[in-house]
Amino acid sequence: MQSQRILLVDDEPVLLEVCREGLIEKGYAVQTANNGAEALDILEREPFELVISDIRMPRLGGLDLIKEIKHRRLDTSVIVLTGYGTIENAVECLQQGASEYLLKPFDFSRLISKIEKVFEERRLKRYDSEVGGLLHILSLERELSMELDEPGLLKKFLHHVKKTFKPTAMAYFTPRNGGMDPFFTLGSFFKEPGTLRWFEQMAGSVANSAQPRLVDPANGVGSNVTKQLGLVGVSAMAAPLNAFYEKDGVLVVVRDARSENPRTSAFGLSDLQLFTIFAAHAGSAAGYHRSCRRIQRMNVEFITSYVQAVEAKDTYTKGHSERVRDISLQLGQALGLGQAQLDDLGAAALLHDIGKIGIPDEILNKPNALNFHEQKIMRRHPVIARDILAGVKSLHPILPVVYHHHERYDGLGYPDGLSGEAIPYLARILQVADGFEAMTSNRAYQQARDAHEALDILQAGAGKQWDPAIVNAWAQAIENDKSSHVTSKSAAAG
């Protein structure tokens, strides 16, 4: 294990040497400086976990040393040792960031106790920071995984960025015409054209290198241009983000500390590391959604081709599946279904008659009642549909809906004779939509009824063929005129 490093700062050579030898015996790595200025030079070159400093020294005293350590944001703790102790000195040192204050002469064991206390506090702070960052990452990952659409995903990601990093402004830059243009900006910071151009160039540099970047003009990292633009005091982080709406780019977050204290508001390397992890998780989630959209497009094409094949066999049902989908979605919304359930219901409605592709044309288009043998063949279409769709993994969630859409609430339906709530809920919704559309369209065996007559039949069959709660919801929707455009479409189709 590497020794913890301590920098001793005092203008008394004898005290320095005694403390140095004692601390080395305790296992610490120790270096010395004779004043604050010398200590700063050493701290700029090498990292130290702890500085133990006197207050009164030539060139640069202990209090000014503490202020410079804070101003330069050096990651080191400070213990003050002095023979000129006053309450005022102690309070000011602690206010400026010193961890402990010890008067000379002191007992060496007491110094060791304070050193151990400071190192333990640093360890706990580092642990809290690591755990806090991990918790932020886990929270982000969990919430992104729950989002079903890209706008929701982007909104959730930006919410986590704002909550975790508390930026003044954010901007997402994407490639265009060889440069970087803002896809969106949040906050008034980027309204100044010169400022926006500077960050566009910075985003271009990050995009070309594919590496995150910490920008801190307040600490001398910025160029003369940043000074001309008045960006001194502005801290920013930029990271590649791959990416929303199929636009790979760079996300920039800014803390505008010009009216605040730049020494306490600037982003640090730990912030940049966590920000980069955030961007990577968001990019992965966006990529997953992008893949899902491609699969969904393929599924839509697959569904459409099968529906068209079925309707080509039965001229009376042309457009039936689309109309059943529209009614099902209206009914599903009236019943308060969530978006995921509505998506499944819509897909099931489009595909509910896909099994008819395996039914002979002469049965499908028969103008009068089917005989027992023909009914038996016709009743096989839910089974055929299930077997066809089982080969498409992404459609597995809707298999029970398609398979059971000809069950009856009283248990006298097919293929399995399920009753009541044993029938899948979405299948019960589809039954009502399918029945209503069939009654309001011309068929080989009947003329179209008007919407009110069809609704009377549904209500008469509630509790027998159809779920009474769903029939009531559809009746209420029609009464409230929420579905007038759907019912008129069905009637027009007849």
User: Is 490:443 a contact under the CB 8 Å cutoff?
Assistant: no
Are 168 and 249 members of one domain? yes
- N-term to C-term CA, the chain: 84
Distance between CA atoms of 430 and 436, rounded to whole angstroms? Answer: 10
Which CATH number belongs to the domain containing residue 419 in this structure?
1.10.3210.10
User: Is 252:173 a contact under the CB 8 Å cutoff?
Assistant: yes
Of 19-33, 293-307, 337-351, the least confident? 293-307
Are 101 and 222 members of one domain? no
Are 382 and 488 members of one domain? yes
* C-alpha count within 13 angstroms, C-beta hemisphere, residue 86: 4
3-state secondary structure of 352: coil
Are 43 and 172 members of one domain? no
Of 44-58, 105-119, 139-153, 233-247, the least confident? 139-153
Phi-psi region of 148 (alpha: psi -120 to 50; beta: other; left: phi over 0): alpha
Question: For all residues of the chain together, what is the average pLDDT?
Answer: 80
Are 59 and 93 members of one domain? yes
- At residue 272, does pLDDT exceed 60? yes
What range does the domain containing 104 cover?
5-122
Q: Count Cβ atoms below 10 Å from residue 81 Cβ, excluding itself.
A: 24
Whether 142 is in a domain gets the answer: no
Which CATH number belongs to the domain containing residue 46 in this structure?
3.40.50.2300
pTM here is: 0.46
Better-predicted residue by pLDDT, 324 or 446: 324
Whether 299 is in a domain gets the answer: no
- At residue 318, does pLDDT exceed 80? no
User: Is 285:153 a contact under the CB 8 Å cutoff?
Assistant: yes
User: Is 463:410 a contact under the CB 8 Å cutoff?
Assistant: yes
User: Is 118:50 a contact under the CB 8 Å cutoff?
Assistant: yes
- 347 token code pair: 């897909």
User: Based on the structure, what is the number of domains in the chain?
Assistant: 3
Are 365 and 485 members of one domain? yes
Q: How confident is the model at residue 326 (pLDDT cuts 50, 70, 90)?
A: very high
Whether 489 is in a domain gets the answer: yes
- 190 token code pair: 């980027």
Are 118 and 151 members of one domain? no
Whether 391 is in a domain gets the answer: yes
Last residue of a domain, one of 234, 254, 288: 288
Dump strand ranges (E) for 146-248. 169-176, 179-186, 213-215, 234-241
Distance between CA atoms of 223 and 118, rounded to whole angstroms? Answer: 38
Q: How confident is the model at residue 486 (pLDDT cuts 50, 70, 90)?
A: very low
Better-predicted residue by pLDDT, 260 or 203: 203
Distance between CA atoms of 254 and 180, rounded to whole angstroms? Answer: 17
Q: How far is CA 394 from CA 251, 287, 288, 344, 399, in A?
A: 33, 18, 14, 11, 10
Query: For 446-470, what is the mean pLDDT?
Result: 91
Question: What is the percentage of the chain residues whose pLDDT exceeds 90?
Answer: 26
Which CATH number belongs to the domain containing residue 190 in this structure?
3.30.450.40
Are 244 and 117 members of one domain? no
Are 372 and 486 members of one domain? yes
Burial of residue 226 (number of CB atoms within 10 Å: 0-12, 13-18, 19+): buried
